[in-house]
Amino acid sequence: MSKKSLSMFDPALVAPAIVESVKKLDPRVQWRNPVMFVVYTGSILTTILFVQAITGKGEAPTGFILAITLWLWFTVLFANFAEALAEGRSKAQAAALRGMKKTVIAKQLEGTKYGAKHFPVPASDLVKGNIVLVEAGDVVPMDGQVIEGVATVDESAITGESAPVIRESGGDFSAVTGGTRVLSDWIVVKVTANPGETFLDRMIAMVEGAKRQKTPNEIALTILLVALTIVFLGVTVTLLPFSIFSVAAVGAGSPITITVLIALLVCLIPTTIGGLLSAIGIAGMSRMMQANVIATSGRAVEAAGDVDILLLDKTGTITLGNRQASQFIPARHVTAAQLADAAQLSSLADETPEGRSIVVLAKQQFNLRERDVHALNASFVHFSAQTRMSGVDLKTDAGEKKLRKGSAEAIRKHIEALGGAFPDEVQQAVDTVARRGSTPLVVAENNKVLGIIELKDIVKGGIKERFAEMRRMGIKTVMITGDNRLTAAAIAAEAGVDDFLAEATPEAKLALIREYQSQGRLVAMTGDGTNDAPALAQADVAVAMNSGTQAAKEAGNMVDLDSNPTKLIEVVETGKQMLMTRGSLTTFSVANDIAKYFAIIPAAFIATYPQLSALNIMQLASPNSAVLSAVIFNALIIVVLIPLALKGVKYRALGASVLLRRNLLVYGLGGIVVPFIGIKAIDLALVALGMT
C-alpha cells in the first residue's frame, strides 16, 4: 500500500473537495446529518426571504438578509468541505489499493495436487474452493491458503515490508493474499474468498467509506446533538411570540425578524461538531490505514479505546524473538575462558540465533575469534530431538575431545552414561539461572561438566516505558507465554507487565479472557496461529497478524499488515483519539453558545428594550453587525477546526482525571472565551469594511 501521506491541505485534495462540497448540497446527502440539515433548511429560508426583499417587501434591509444568507450557505459548504476532504484522503488510499488489482490469469488445477494439469482462468472468475498453482513470478490471484509447497512471497504491496516472507502449507504461515507476488518456488493455493470479498476488496470498501456505518458512540452522540438542536429550535421558535408580546407591551421596536431568528438558531445548534462529525470518523479509519491496520469496522476501532486489559504474547511482542547468550558460568576448577572456548567450539556449526549469540559473546568477552573449521579437524554433531544436544568432536593429540552443550537433563544423562558425575554446585547454578527467567545450557567436555551458558530473553528496548504509559492510561498488560512460571515471572518483572499467564495453552488463554470479561473488563489481544483463533474470537478487540493463518484473521476484528504485535497499543490510542476528538469538539461547540447569546440577544431586542444594551458586553457596533459577526464566526470556526478534526485531539497517556481536567480547560473554558474574541474581531473587521 502506498505509504505516502498527503499533507492536510494538499492542492490535489482540496480542489476535488471543493467540487465535492458543492455536490453534497443534494438534500438527500444533507438529510443524513440532522444538525446540518437544519442549517441547510435555514439557508433556503433566508434565500427566500432575500428574494422577497429584492422584490420590495423585505422584513429587514436587503443587504443584511443577503449577508446572512451567504454566510449560512458558507456554513453548509464548509461542513461539506470538511467531509469531502476527509473522504478525499481515503479515496487516494483506495485508488492506490485499486492499482494493485491487476487482471491476473490464474493457473487453475484440475486436481488438488502439484503436477496436475492446469488451465488459464481470469482471477475474477475464481470462487471459493478452487485450487490454483502459483509459480515463481506469478501474482497470487486471490486470497487463499497454501495446501502444498513452500515459496517466498513478496507482500510489500500490502504490507509495505520489503523483505520477502515464507509461505508454506500447514502451520501458521499458510495464508496468502491476492495481489502479492511469489518470488521463488511454487505453491498450490486453495482459494478462500469469492470475488468482491477478498482482503483487498474489503480494504478498498472500507477506506472508501462505502460501508462505513456509524459507530455506537457516534450514534449516541448524534442523538445528543439532535436533542440539542430540538432545544434550540424550541428556544428560537418561542422567541417570536415572546418578542411580539414584548413589543405590544412596550409599544416600541418591532418583533424579531425571521432572518435574525434563523441566524440565532444556526449559531446555537452545535454546527461545529455537527459539521465535523463524519470527517472525524473517516479520518480515524484513515489513520488506522496509515498505521497499516485494517479494521473490519469502525466499531472495532472505537472499542479499542475502551480496552482495559491487553494480552500480549511474550515472544516477539515483549521480548525479541530469540534468546541470546548473556553470561558464562564456569564449574569449579574451570576458568570462564576455558568454558567460553569450549562453548564457542561447540557452537561454530550451530546456525540457530542462540548458537550464533554464543559465538558473539565469546568474542566479546574473551576475544575468541572464529576458527577455521577444517583446520580443527572437527566433526560436528547437530542437534537432534533424541539427544537434545549439539556439539563437536575434536581429534587432538591428547585424544578425542567430545564437546557437548544442551539442557541440564540431557547433559546429565550424557555424562552419566560416560561414567562421569553431574556436580551439585552446577545443578544449583542451573536452578538459579532458571529462576532468573533465563535458559541454562550446560557445556560438557567428555564426562566432565565445564559450566553453564546463560541464554537470556532480551526484553525489547522501550517496552517497559510503554507499559508504564499503559498503566497510567488504566490499561493492564498481561504477558502470555508457554514458559514455566519461574521464567515467566522473571521476564514479567523485567518487562514491567502487570500480570502473566505461564504455561499458556489455547484453553488457558480462552479461560483467562472469559474470566476478565466476567469481571466487566474489555480485553484486547493479538494472535497469529490457528490455535489463537478461539481466544481471538472471544476477545473484545482482536488484532490478527497478517502473517498469521486465515482462521486467525477471520476470528480477529482487525488485521495488522505489518504483523507487529506492539501495534495494538497504537490501535488503542487511535480509538481513544477518535472519541476524544468528538467529545472535545462537542464541548467546544456547546460552550460557544454563551458568547453567541451575548451577541445576539441584546441585538435582537434592543429596539424594544434599549436597556438590554447593558448585555452587549462585547460592545458590538450595531445589532446587524452583531448578528452577522456571530454567524460568520460560526461558519469560520468549522474551517479553523478541520485540521483538528482530521488529525484528532492529541492523546496523552494520563489518568482519566488529569486528562479530563486538561481537555475541559482547553475545550470547555477555551470554548467559552474564544468566541468572545472571535466575534469581537469579526465585528471590528465589519466596521472597518463599512459593512455595519
Partner 1 sequence: MSYLTQMLGLAVQNFLSAASGIVVVIALIRGLARHSMNTIGNVWVDLTRVTLFILLPISFVLALALVSQGAIQSFDAYQEATTLDVTSYETAKLDADGQSVMDEQGNAVTETVTTQTQTLPMAPLASQLAIKMLGTNGGGIFNVNSSHPYENPTPLSNFLQMLAIFLIPAALCYTFGRMVGDTRQGWAVLATMLLLFLPFAIGAMYFEQQGHPAIAALGVDQSASAWQAGGNMEGKETRFGIADSGLFAAITTAASCGAVNSMHESYTPLGGMMPMALMQLGEVVFGGVGTGLYGMLVFALLAVFISGLMIGRTPEYLGKKIEAYDMKMISVAILVTPLLVLAGTAIAVVSPSGTASIFNPGTHGFSEVYYAFTSAGNNNGSAFAGLSANVPFYNVMLAIAMWFGRFGVIVPVLAIAGSLAAKKRIAATPGTMPTHGPLFVILLASTVILVGALNYVPGLALGPIAEHLTFISAY
530 versus 574: smaller Cβ distance to partner 1: 574
3-state secondary structure of 659: helix
Q: In whole angstroms, what is the distance from residue 47 CA to residue 42 CA?
A: 9
Q: In whole angstroms, what is the distance from residue 230 CA to residue 62 CA?
A: 29
342 versus 473: smaller Cβ distance to partner 1: 473
Write phi, then psi, for 327 (nearest 5 degrees). Answer: -165, 145
482 versus 668: smaller Cβ distance to partner 1: 668
Q: In whole angstroms, what is the distance from residue 220 CA to residue 213 CA?
A: 13
96 versus 664: smaller Cβ distance to partner 1: 664
Check if the beta carbon of residue 209 is closer than 8 Å to that of residue 87: yes
236 versus 439: smaller Cβ distance to partner 1: 236
**In sequence order, what are the residues at sequence separation of 6 or more whose Cβ sits closer than 8 angstroms to the Cβ of residue 341?**
362, 366, 368
**Least distance to partner 1, CB of residue 297, Å:** 15
Q: Report which secondary-structure segment, H or E, holds 395.
A: strand 389-396
Check if the beta carbon of residue 368 is closer than 8 Å to that of residue 340: yes
Q: In whole angstroms, what is the distance from residue 633 CA to residue 266 CA?
A: 11
- Nearest-CA neighbor of 192 among 538, 552, 534? 552
Taking phi over 0 as left and psi of -120 to 50 as alpha, with beta for the rest, 227 belongs to alpha
**Least distance to partner 1, CB of residue 515, Å:** 12
Check if the beta carbon of residue 62 is closer than 8 Å to that of residue 25: no
Return the half-sphere exposure (C-beta side, CA atoms, 13 A cut-off) of residue 529: 7
Cell for 445? 567436555
Q: In whole angstroms, what is the distance from residue 269 CA to residue 261 CA?
A: 12
**Least distance to partner 1, CB of residue 582, Å:** 5
**Least distance to partner 1, CB of residue 577, Å:** 7
> Which is it for strands 309-313 and 319-330: parallel, antiparallel or unpaired?
unpaired
Cell for 225? 446533538
265 versus 490: smaller Cβ distance to partner 1: 265
**Least distance to partner 1, CB of residue 479, Å:** 18
**Least distance to partner 1, CB of residue 90, Å:** 22
**Least distance to partner 1, CB of residue 533, Å:** 24
CA 276 to chain centre: 21
**Least distance to partner 1, CB of residue 220, Å:** 4
To the query of whether residue 308 is one of the catalytic residues in this protein, the response is no
Check if the beta carbon of residue 604 is closer than 8 Å to that of residue 256: yes
Active-site pick, 313, 483, 528, 683: 313
**Least distance to partner 1, CB of residue 641, Å:** 15
Q: In whole angstroms, what is the distance from residue 91 CA to residue 97 CA?
A: 10
341 versus 593: smaller Cβ distance to partner 1: 593
CA 372 to chain centre: 50
Q: In whole angstroms, what is the distance from residue 32 CA to residue 20 CA?
A: 16
221 versus 679: smaller Cβ distance to partner 1: 221
199 versus 232: smaller Cβ distance to partner 1: 232
**In sequence order, what are the residues at sequence separation of 6 or more whose Cβ sits closer than 8 angstroms to the Cβ of residue 685?**
none
115 versus 474: smaller Cβ distance to partner 1: 474
Q: In whole angstroms, what is the distance from residue 303 CA to residue 290 CA?
A: 19
**Least distance to partner 1, CB of residue 355, Å:** 44
Q: In whole angstroms, what is the distance from residue 568 CA to residue 118 CA?
A: 42
Residue-by-residue DSSP string for 409-471: HHHHHHHHHTT----HHHHHHHHHHHHTT-EEEEEEETTEEEEEEEEEEEEPTTHHHHHHHHH
Residue-by-residue DSSP string for 472-519: HHT-EEEEE-SS-HHHHHHHHHHHT-SEEE-S--HHHHHHHHHHHHHT
Please report, for residues 319, 627, 690, the alpha-carbon distance to residue 606 in angstroms, rounded to integers and kept in the order given.
Answer: 71, 12, 21
CA 89 to chain centre: 17
Residue 296 is classified by DSSP as: S
236 versus 344: smaller Cβ distance to partner 1: 236
Let me know how long the chain is. Answer: 692
**Least distance to partner 1, CB of residue 619, Å:** 16
170 versus 474: smaller Cβ distance to partner 1: 474
Q: In whole angstroms, what is the distance from residue 548 CA to residue 172 CA?
A: 6
Check if the beta carbon of residue 75 is closer than 8 Å to that of residue 638: yes
**Least distance to partner 1, CB of residue 662, Å:** 9
Q: Any idea which residues carry the catalytic annotation?
A: 313
